[in-house]
Chains A and B, each alone.
Chain A
Amino acid sequence: MGVFAIGTSSATVGAELRRHRPWVRWTVVTVVLAALFLLVAQPVGWILFNSVHDDATQQWTLNNYVRLVTAKGMLQPIINSIILAFSTAAISTLLGVPLAWLVARTNMPGRGLIRMLTLGAFVTPSFIGALGWILLAAPNAGWLNTLYRQISGGDLPLFNIYSMSGAIFVCAIYTVPYTFTIVASALDEMAVELEDAATTLGASVLRTMFSVTIPMVMPSVIVGFILSFIQGMTLFGVPAFLLTPSGTSVVTTKLAEFYQLFPPELYMAAAYCMPLLLLTGGLFWVRKKMLGRRRFVMIGGKSRAGRRIDLKGWRWAGLLFALIVPVTSVILPYFALIVVSLSKAWGQGPSLSNLTFHWYRWAILENAETQAAIINSLTYAAIGASLCVLLGTLIAYIVERRLVAGTTIIAALTNLPIIIPGIVLSVGFFAAYTQPPLSLYGTSAIIIAAFVATFLPIAYSHGVAMLKGISPDLERVARILGASESKTFTSITAPLMRSGLISGWLLVFIPVMRELSVAVFLITPSTNVMTTLIYNYKDGGNYEAVAAASVLLLVVTMVVVAIAQMLSVKLAKHKRASVEPGVAQ
């Protein structure tokens, strides 16, 4: 194969070389950047724009910000949010890190089951978990409290879920999946020899865990903490249900208040979420710094994967600890919800005469709304996850392989949505895409777009993690053997990412299924999804329908997850080796 024609003058040389510009690359990059602009920059831009306008007069003003710092009742919710978020992150870390250690590094029994149940916690919308916990732990009527009163014979309840500690508890147990997953994968990849070094020197199991293992995965622990903190700041449903009865506000419920006022203060709300954005944005920057030093965790080398620490007699204690999260986040609340869903009239309490499958029949077979909502949820989540993973992976590729200048800005923009509360992003999308030329209001497109934007940071992070494990030399080799950039991507890069793509897809699919606040203003009756439907039922007091629909949501999501996991196992047959260099970094 020859390449040759003689041309030595400078002009022809230049022209010749210019013939070989990478058109495909530039087209892809342009499309991706355009998508990023439309999905993130535009709506966020509108939010910023709105924050400097007055709700009543529509004029430019800085008054919203002035009110923010001077008016009464503005500061306390921010403080409450910080308390909630920090405590949530702390507890989530305290539960998640040992859990990850137990599952990834020890011979604790039932590891697979625990992993699956923790996934169940990830699948559950936290506001539904809150509803379940209200049934269990409301001070007077909560079933656990009633049980406790019967046993202890006293009058006082054991728990009061309508409190800050109650809210922290519920937020934390549903945030554990984040810390768990991040730390567990770091532990999975850690070289075992590092622990061996400690044990051969005589350190006990616990000593090794505290002095070697945990410090080694410290960056992941911190990343998990930060993610949990951000979750705690941006959750809406849990504080709305659990804190409002005691009159405690957090930033997200305060924002909802602005939307409920007459007249609604939408622009004030936009300004109000700025402190939140600054705080979570700052934390995210810290996370970025942490991830930049991630290399030192994976020393790689010839690790004997699969060798586990023997807990001996402590195995069962470990299992007991590991069961805390699955029991509190999945088993107990869903038990309560299932009982209610099977009641004819839930106020009567559980009894044989009060049992019925009516509500499930109603939801699945009779009620057109629920049927449509299930289909909508699945469709939007599937399409949204696919688009999100595609876009996130392409952006990750562009940034990791430095295909253009300014990758720092691209990365920052991609990560922006994670720090914006869903309800605010919802309004941003509304403003951006309900007027011509892009008038998407009432369509499923605007909802899918909002979902894609909301979870783009997750898909992007995941894409970056996948790509860090694929050496650029693997791609360069293909290039030099004659494959163009796009052919290289499709024959080498994409197949190597295959199993990662599926787990990335799930990482987006699941949160979309359980997302509420982003959808609230964008759905119309024909585009209703399960979460907004459940929220409506709750608003209407129809708890049996709430419970039945919640159980359905869980079942439907878990079915899809199970299918995807099976596919992933099939495709991961030729798992890449971590044994020799040339593959792992």
Chain B
Amino acid sequence: MVEFTRRRFLQASGIAGAGLAAGLIRPSFAADESLYAAAQKEGALNLYWGSYEQRTIEAIRDAFTRRYPGIKVNLLRQASQTIYTRLRLELQNNAPNCDSLGSTNILHYLELKKIGALMPYKPAGTEFLPQEFQGLDKDETYQVGAISLTSLNFQSDKVTSAPTSWEAALDAQWANKLTVGSPSFSGDVASWVVAIRKKYGDHYLKELAKLNPKVGQSNVDTVTDILSGERLVGLGAPFSYSLAQKATGNPINVVTPTDGTILNLGLSAIPLKAPHPSAAKLFSDFLYDPEVSQILAANFWPTLRTDVPWAGGRSLSQLNWYRNPPEDLAAEVAEGIAKWKDIIG
């Protein structure tokens, strides 16, 4: 486990900055000039994003506004499930308002695509995405918007040797000291539960239940519980957000488990009836701009461009990561939630 110190972070961004200066990283296309003109005419952009926490998504929004003045960006940052419900209400009542949907649950996009509610659009710059995550949808109705890593986190002042794997977290010494979100509330936690069950079966959940974990709602609750000192180790925890909190001086740190960091893709799509389609396309393109990836790196998120490194010298290839395949995912999630309710409560 590598210690992420301030020095390392500054080093990493220094390299990134130098790289940009040296022209090794290509700036975004000049071909979006006409798109910008059309977007300016529209004058506004409504983002419904739940994949990133407030600070990161606000930074991205601010960067967009600086780059493309004249477009008022309205950001709705709520949990992915809430955003999706709202979008459904809008669709049912024929009151389209959303221009860009950023949710952590692929099932949302599969469903929307099925009813023909998504606009096919291939943003410029998707070729800079990691190879494995390109071309998720052959009809290009949705692409990767965020790479969300789920790992362990812990109270760094009080815990000297944190568990190094999911399995190790089931040790008896962690009884009454664990915290976890809820799969019925959080898409990230749901995907963690599905992955864990695939690997270890229901046995894992049963053992976990014996340790009496504190069950919250979103995976962010693990960070809250750790910062308050209420619990000491978090499962199904947000990797990036934990590191961001650490950087502000909070006593929290992460562990990338040896038996697999769970990777969940937050996606990005434009609804078919978006009221500001040009602005939406402009934003989709902007997502893959180096500036956005730098913002992501600065907030300890994985970047969306392979030529912009992550903070602290990490990278995808270093990690032992695992992503749930999308086939049968709906059924698996439902089953996971049901089992969770039965076993853990």
B288: min CB distance to chain A, Å: 23
A542: min CB distance to chain B, Å: 6
CB pair B220–A264 under 8 Å, yes or no, is: no
Interface residues on B, range: 35 or more
Known A-B contacts A135-B228, A348-B250; A542 and B81 likewise in contact (beta carbons under 8 Å): no
- Interface set, chain A 22-57, CB cutoff 8 A to B: none
Query: For residue B241, which residues in chain A have a CB less than 8 angstroms away from its CB?
Result: 541
Query: For residue A521, which residues in chain B have a CB less than 8 angstroms away from its CB?
Result: 85-86, 89
A522: min CB distance to chain B, Å: 10
CB-CB nearest in chain A for B76: A525
CB-CB nearest in chain B for A262: B107
CB-CB nearest in chain A for B252: A347
The listed residue (A262, A435, A540) touching B333 by CB distance below 8 A is A262
CB pair A539–B184 under 8 Å, yes or no, is: no
CB pair B230–A536 under 8 Å, yes or no, is: no
Encode contact with B along A520-549: 1 for CB under 8 Å, 0 otherwise.
110011100000000011011111010000
- Interface set, chain A 539-585, CB cutoff 8 A to B: 539-543, 545
The listed residue (B58, B111, B224) touching A263 by CB distance below 8 A is B111
Tell me, yes or no, whether B130 is within 8 Å of chain A by CB: no
A458: min CB distance to chain B, Å: 27
Tell me, yes or no, whether B231 is within 8 Å of chain A by CB: yes
Known A-B contacts A347-B251, A439-B95; A139 and B230 likewise in contact (beta carbons under 8 Å): yes
A425: min CB distance to chain B, Å: 14
- Bound Cα distance from A346 to B58, whole angstroms: 21
Q: What total of A-B pairs shows CB separation below 8 Å?
A: 139
CB pair B82–A434 under 8 Å, yes or no, is: no
CB pair A262–B214 under 8 Å, yes or no, is: no
CB-CB nearest in chain B for A260: B81
- Bound Cα distance from A246 to B85, whole angstroms: 26
Query: For residue B252, which residues in chain A have a CB less than 8 angstroms away from its CB?
Result: 347
B63: min CB distance to chain A, Å: 15
Number of residues of chain A lying within 8 A (CB) of chain B = 50
A57: min CB distance to chain B, Å: 13
The listed residue (A138, A344, A439, A537) touching B230 by CB distance below 8 A is A138
Tell me, yes or no, whether B84 is within 8 Å of chain A by CB: yes
Known A-B contacts A347-B251, A347-B252; A539 and B218 likewise in contact (beta carbons under 8 Å): yes
Query: For residue B344, which residues in chain A have a CB less than 8 angstroms away from its CB?
Result: 247
CB pair A525–B231 under 8 Å, yes or no, is: no
CB-CB nearest in chain B for A440: B95
CB pair B74–A244 under 8 Å, yes or no, is: no
Encode contact with A along B72-84: 1 for CB under 8 Å, 0 otherwise.
0011111101101
Query: For residue A345, which residues in chain B have a CB less than 8 angstroms away from its CB?
Result: 245, 248-250
Tell me, yes or no, whether A431 is within 8 Å of chain B by CB: yes
A3: min CB distance to chain B, Å: 56
CB pair B95–A434 under 8 Å, yes or no, is: yes
Tell me, yes or no, whether B255 is within 8 Å of chain A by CB: no
B125: min CB distance to chain A, Å: 25
The listed residue (B79, B81, B224, B228) touching A262 by CB distance below 8 A is B81
Tell me, yes or no, whether B273 is within 8 Å of chain A by CB: no
- Bound Cα distance from A50 to B47, whole angstroms: 28
Tell me, yes or no, whether A170 is within 8 Å of chain B by CB: no
CB pair B345–A348 under 8 Å, yes or no, is: no
Tell me, yes or no, whether B215 is within 8 Å of chain A by CB: yes
CB pair A260–B249 under 8 Å, yes or no, is: no
A341: min CB distance to chain B, Å: 15
Tell me, yes or no, whether A442 is within 8 Å of chain B by CB: yes
- Bound Cα distance from A142 to B229, whole angstroms: 9
B290: min CB distance to chain A, Å: 25
CB-CB nearest in chain B for A526: B74
CB-CB nearest in chain A for B330: A262
CB pair B226–A347 under 8 Å, yes or no, is: yes
- Bound Cα distance from A43 to B227, whole angstroms: 42
- Bound Cα distance from A109 to B108, whole angstroms: 60
Tell me, yes or no, whether B135 is within 8 Å of chain A by CB: no
A17: min CB distance to chain B, Å: 50
Tell me, yes or no, whether A257 is within 8 Å of chain B by CB: yes
Tell me, yes or no, whether A489 is within 8 Å of chain B by CB: no
A198: min CB distance to chain B, Å: 52
Known A-B contacts A244-B182, A260-B185, A347-B252; A435 and B84 likewise in contact (beta carbons under 8 Å): no
Query: For residue A369, which residues in chain B have a CB less than 8 angstroms away from its CB?
Result: 58
Query: For residue B90, which residues in chain A have a CB less than 8 angstroms away from its CB?
Result: 434, 441
Tell me, yes or no, whether B261 is within 8 Å of chain A by CB: no
Query: For residue A349, which residues in chain B have a CB less than 8 angstroms away from its CB?
Result: 229
Of listed B88, B95, B221, B250, residue having the most chain A CB within 10 A? B95
- Interface set, chain B 173-219, CB cutoff 8 A to A: 182, 184-185, 214-218
- Bound Cα distance from A347 to B158, whole angstroms: 12
CB pair B215–A543 under 8 Å, yes or no, is: no
A268: min CB distance to chain B, Å: 13
- Interface set, chain B 327-345, CB cutoff 8 A to A: 330, 333, 341, 344-345
- Give the B-binding residues of A (Cβ under 8 A): 73, 134-135, 138-142, 162, 240, 244-247, 257, 259-264, 266, 344-349, 369, 427, 430-431, 434-435, 439, 441-442, 520-521, 524-526, 536-537, 539-543, 545
What 10 additional pairs, Cβ within 8 angstroms, besides A521-B85, A536-B78, A539-B220? A135-B228, A139-B230, A244-B217, A246-B345, A257-B184, A259-B81, A259-B85, A260-B185, A430-B93, A536-B77
> What would be 9 A-B contacts, judged by CB atoms less than 8 Å apart?
A244-B215, A247-B345, A345-B250, A347-B228, A441-B93, A524-B74, A524-B97, A525-B74, A541-B241
